[in-house]
Amino acid sequence: MKLPIYLDYSATTPVDPRVAQKMIPFLTEHFGNPASRSHAFGWEAEQAVEEARGHVAALLNADPKEIIWTSGATEGNNLAIKGAAHFYKGKGKHIVTMKTEHKAVLDTVRELERQGFEATYLDPQPDGLLDLEEFKAALRPDTVLVSVMMVNNETGVIQPIAEIGEICRAKGIIFHCDAVQAAGKIPVDLQKLKVDLLTVTAHKVYGPKGIGALYVRRKPRVRIEAQIHGGGHERGLRSGTLATHQIVGMGEAFRIAKLEIGAESERIRALRDRLLNGLKDMEEVYVNGDLERRIPGNLNVSFNFVEGESLIMAIKDVAVSSGSACTSASLEPSYVLRALGRSDELAHSSIRFTIGRFTTEEEIDYAVKLLRAKIGKLRELSPLWEMYKEGVDLNSVQWAAH
């Protein structure tokens, strides 16, 4: 077993060696510009791009013509949200989204607010899921766009996308879905789901960073305004020379995902359950978000009375991320967990484990053993644990907030 152990697959995944192999010839040999129509170099690059487009469409059960290449999820979310809002602004200027969305959605909606749009940010229920009644109540006659992610990046919970799609379609509202954490992990069927715009990216699915795709529905036709202008690539929706090797990588990654999703999900779920079973008998351990309606590879847990950043430091042989954003130089606890109604203490004590294709049982067992030892040690060091053990109600203490 090699250390450190990677349990942060929701942050990014390694490129599958099969994907890397497929990409290499497109850097050196088949380097042509897919937009070159005048020679074989261009033709073979174009053919590779279209083959990859087919693989991406196939995983989503979409038409290849509905797939637009982007540089990744942030661009995809920007293009979908700004593009649809700008195109349909004559119909209304109200947008509905959730407080637990990724920053690429939240900050884009904030930018639209600065441009004169209005936005409603819905709270999730304590299990992390959207309350559909509350959602319906938030829709207004001037609502033009809804953006709700399929799978939350921190808690891994799966939102009721089919139901949201039905509601939006009935009201003629454009529905964008950030499916970055869903593609390749749970089935995404765009023949069934009434999603109009859907964002995916390669590097969460064992493909390379720097390449993603936006699905833009053709039936019924959904329109967006381009955000990047230039040579009119991608039917004018996203100009810029296509990165053939990246696209080939994404195509191969999505092709493999479609083939292996079934067996892989089962294997990953078993590893996740093994991790949870190894931890859940400890005192004051809380799973954040619904455990059933969740992708197989995610476990987000709070170890009460242990601060998340110090735990991450203690288990430095295991690469995880803290729900608390301390590591990104902000001292605020996770806004996602706060939106779930978790106390600041529990939000400060959370760890996100995400398991993937190359995780082994041995690695999970090592992580469990290490975690149990370090949590014990940090609780011995924690004045809060001492007070809890003495029966002090921490909520009754007058803390000096700083």
Partner 1 sequence: MAYSDKVIDHYENPRNVGSFDKSDEHIGTGMVGAPACGDVMKLQIRVNAQGVIEDARFKTYGCGSAIASSSLVTEWVKGKTLDQAETIKNTQIAEELALPPVKIHCSILAEDAIKAAITDYRKKHGLEAEKQAKAA
Q: How far is the CB of 308 from partner 1 (least distance, A)?
A: 8
Q: How far is the CB of 8 from partner 1 (least distance, A)?
A: 15
Q: Rounded distance, CA 366 to CA 350, Å?
A: 19
399 touches partner 1 (CB under 8 A): yes
Q: How far is the CB of 283 from partner 1 (least distance, A)?
A: 16
352 touches partner 1 (CB under 8 A): no
259 touches partner 1 (CB under 8 A): no
Catalytic residue among 95, 211, 326, 367: 326
Would you call the peptide bond into 208 cis, given omega within 30 degrees of 0 as the criterion? Answer: no
Q: 392: which 2 tokens?
A: 């002090």
376 contacts 303 by C-beta, under 8 angstroms: no
Q: How far is the CB of 371 from partner 1 (least distance, A)?
A: 16
Amino acid at 60: L
348 touches partner 1 (CB under 8 A): yes
Stretch that binds partner 1, among 78-86, 219-227, 233-241, 328-336 (CB under 8 A): 328-336
Q: Which is nearer to partner 1, 97 or 302 (CB)?
A: 302
Q: Rounded distance, CA 256 to CA 260, Å?
A: 6
Instruction: Give me the phi and psi of 159, to 5 degrees please.
Output: -75, 155
Q: Which is nearer to partner 1, 80 or 306 (CB)?
A: 306
Q: Which is nearer to partner 1, 241 or 328 (CB)?
A: 328
350 touches partner 1 (CB under 8 A): no
As a dihedral over the C-alpha atoms of residue 139, residue 140, residue 142, residue 144, rounded to 10 degrees, the angle is: 10
Stretch that binds partner 1, among 220-228, 261-269, 293-301, 393-401 (CB under 8 A): 393-401
Stretch that binds partner 1, among 145-153, 204-212, 222-230, 325-333 (CB under 8 A): 325-333
Q: 41 pairs with which residues across the strands?
A: none
386 touches partner 1 (CB under 8 A): yes
Stretch that binds partner 1, among 27-35, 82-90, 111-119, 326-334 (CB under 8 A): 326-334
> DSSP letters of 48-110?
HHHHHHHHHHHHHT--GGGEEEESSHHHHHHHHHHHHHHHTTTT--EEEEETTS-HHHHHHHH
Q: Which is nearer to partner 1, 199 or 334 (CB)?
A: 334
344 touches partner 1 (CB under 8 A): yes
Asked if 326 is an active-site residue, the reply is yes
The sign of the dihedral angle between the CA atoms of 252, 8, 99, 209 is negative
Q: Rounded distance, CA 155 to CA 127, Å?
A: 9
Nearest Cα to 127, choosing from 333, 326, 287? 287
326 touches partner 1 (CB under 8 A): yes
329 touches partner 1 (CB under 8 A): yes
Q: How far is CA 185 from the centre of its chain?
A: 11
11 touches partner 1 (CB under 8 A): no
26 contacts 245 by C-beta, under 8 angstroms: yes
- Please give the size of the binding site for partner 1, defined by CB under 8 A: 29
Q: Write the interaction track for partner 1 spanning residues 355-384; mark x where CB under 8 A is met and - where it is not.
A: -------------------------xxxxx
27 touches partner 1 (CB under 8 A): no
Ranges of beta strands (E only) in 262-308 are 285-287, 298-303
Q: How far is the CB of 302 from partner 1 (least distance, A)?
A: 12
Q: 206: which 2 tokens?
A: 């064992």
Helix, strand, coil share of the chain (percent; to 5): 40, 15, 45
Q: Which is nearer to partner 1, 136 or 377 (CB)?
A: 377
Q: Rounded distance, CA 40 to CA 32, Å?
A: 8
Which residues here bind partner 1, judged by CB under 8 A?
A: 305-307, 309-310, 313-314, 324, 326-327, 329, 331, 333, 343-345, 348, 380-386, 394, 399-402
Active-site residues, by number, are 326
